[in-house]
Structure 1
Amino acid sequence: MKRFVTLLATLTALSVPAMALASTWNLDPDHSNVGFKVRHLMVSNVKGNFDKFSGTINIDDKDITKSSVQVSIDTNSINTNVQKRDDHLRSPDFFDVAKYPTMTFVSKKVVKAGKDKLKVTGNLTLHGVTKEVVLEVEGPSADTKDPWGNIRKGATATAKINRKDFGLVWNKALETGGVAVGEEVTIILEAEMVRK
């Protein structure tokens, strides 16, 4: 019995440092942005963002490739600064927010892609469709303590998706050729994280 207690104590002591190497971070919505841009009328890019979102990032400080990300976005919070356009984007023609109020990203794999760069592969669920997407990440930055004692990190992530892959197929042909709304959408996430 004594030997068992000693073994248990040793295993517990060894596991503490390993657990301490992982840290959990929450997205700070006041200092983060979930944005996108898409081609309009084949001549310019229209930009927008989602005002409501949350996210949890688990960082393995010893092996960054064992880290994970989970983000949830309120599709009703879409904002392109044009009310009529936002209403159309919320309608069944696009996001159909009454039926699909949330978009999510859940990581499956993290790999290093150079100095301070990562590729984060995960499942993006949008409009009831789940597809694998790769985020190109710059960061995360080193820890920084804010004036109130919180520990923060930052990162920027980008990805490109084809909206038709997610059932967002509405469009109008132009008399001059081309279409009103591009199919390729660039996603830009500016993330500021606070350690839990």
Structure 2
Amino acid sequence: MLDPENSSAQFSCKHVFTNVRGMFHKPSGTLTLDEGNLANTRANATIDVSTITTGVEERDAHLKSPDFFDVAKFPGITFASTSVSKSGATSYAMMGNLTMHGITKPVTLAVTLSPPFNHAGGIRRAVEATGAVNRKDFGLRWEFPGEGAGVVVGDNIEISIDAELVLQPEPSKGS
């Protein structure tokens, strides 16, 4: 299970000539990892869009508005894995469906897992996942009036997820 207190999802987007970075706090989710048979591996994650922060209140309010995420209508972003392949000793390519702003599209995330470690009385693993999406593929089409497409707000959004996973005991198999 993902530890929301020690996890976050970040993004980066061009704003004219600079990169604007933002974060969503306390994502939730689960990862079932079967390293012996990756076909059994599953990941699901949810982000509360209302937690978005870029460090600028006016921009955050605009991002929550109907011009962008429309938080009142689409309060969450979800990811559900569909397949996983090993790409290195501790790295994987995870394919899945990302749903944002009411639109679902396939995405691939590059995932790196730490070895298990003992902490606070439990077994934990760190996971990093990165990828990119085009915001317009998800209906986030707002442009600064009079500036042209992609001039003020870039279309390509870099995504980075840093999460701490807490191993959950398997439920007992019967009585």
Q: TM-score, normalised by structure 1?
A: 0.81
1:32-51 matches, within 5 Å, as 32-41=7-16, 43-51=17-25
1:101-112 matches, within 5 Å, as 101-112=75-86
- 1:142 paired with 2:115, answer yes
User: Gaps (5+ residues) in structure 2?
Assistant: 169-175
Match of 1:125 in 2: 99
Match of 2:2 in 1: 27
SS at match of 1:60: coil
Q: TM-score, normalised by structure 2?
A: 0.90
Is 1:53–1:74's contact at 8 Å kept on the other side of the alignment? yes
Supply the distance in 2 between the matched residues of 1:44 and 1:121 (Cα, whole angstroms): 30
User: Gaps (5+ residues) in structure 1?
Assistant: 1-25
Is 1:174–1:180's contact at 8 Å kept on the other side of the alignment? no
Aligned residues: 168
Quick one: percent identity of the two aligned structures? 44
Supply the distance in 2 between the matched residues of 1:58 and 1:178 (Cα, whole angstroms): 38
Is 1:173–1:179's contact at 8 Å kept on the other side of the alignment? no
1:51-90 matches, within 5 Å, as 51-90=25-64
SS at match of 2:115: coil
Between 1:176-185 and 1:122-131, the stretch displaced more is 176-185
Match of 1:182 in 2: 154
SS at match of 1:30: helix
Between 1:127-136 and 1:167-176, the stretch displaced more is 167-176
Match of 2:131 in 1: 159
RMSD: 1.7
Is 1:122–1:134's contact at 8 Å kept on the other side of the alignment? yes
Q: State the structure with more CA Rg.
A: 1
Q: Which is richer in helix? A: 1
Q: Given the superposition, is the C-alpha separation of residues 194 and 183 from structure 1 closer, same or farther in structure 2, using an over 3 Å criterion? A: same
Supply the distance in 2 between the matched residues of 1:96 and 1:142 (Cα, whole angstroms): 39
Match of 1:9 in 2: none
